[in-house]
Amino acid sequence: MGLKSRNQLERVISASLISQIWLVCSRMFPSRFPTTHKCRICGVDVETTEVRAHYRTTHPEFEGWGNHWKRLSWLLLISDMALAGLNLLIIRSVIPIFDYVVIACLSGSVLVLIFTMVSKQGAFREAWNRTHPSPNSSTT
Ligand SMILES: [Zn+2]
């Protein structure tokens, strides 16, 4: 009965742990990270600290979709990690060729995630350009 909630707890803990590690890494090497970020939807340069606020206020639909995408990608990556761990512990000794399956799953899900992000960004950018025509091409 309590096993399901325990699994969920472990998933949440590992997700927050990885994001914490990422946070520490980005603080350790601040010079490697650019200070401005070109908005992927409207193309405006935004301070990296303001990026989240910009997406939230200017592109709320994209922000909402992004959160959904992040949740999905975590789920996908964590299940890939679980598969990789399981492979190292058990499957590898039974099916040696399973390494390739794990690698294919990992690279496949990363590719799918990148592809969905890029195509969704393109769709949002197109929609933005349609509703916000650039001032240069003003028509009378
Ligand atoms: Zn923007």
| pLDDT reported for residue 3 | 67
pLDDT tens, 74-131?
A: 999 999 999 999 999 999 889 888 999 999 999 999 999 999 999 999 999 999 999 9
What residues flank ion ligand 1 with Cβ within 5 A? 39, 41-42, 58
Interval between CA 90 and ligand 1 midpoint (Å)? 47
Q: What are 38's strand-pairing partners?
A: 45
pLDDT tens, 3-41?
A: 677 888 888 888 888 888 888 877 776 566 668 889 999
Separation of alpha carbons 26 and 33, rounded Å: 7
What is the chain's percent helix, strand, coil content, to nearest 5? Answer: 80, 5, 15
123's enclosing H/E stretch is helix 98-131
Interval between CA 37 and ligand 1 midpoint (Å)? 10
Domain ranges of the chain: 55-131
pLDDT tens, 37-63?
A: 899 999 999 998 899 999 999 999 999
Interval between CA 9 and ligand 1 midpoint (Å)? 35
Q: 47 in helix, strand or coil? A: strand
pLDDT band for position 138 (cuts 50, 70, 90) = very low
Interval between CA 25 and ligand 1 midpoint (Å)? 26
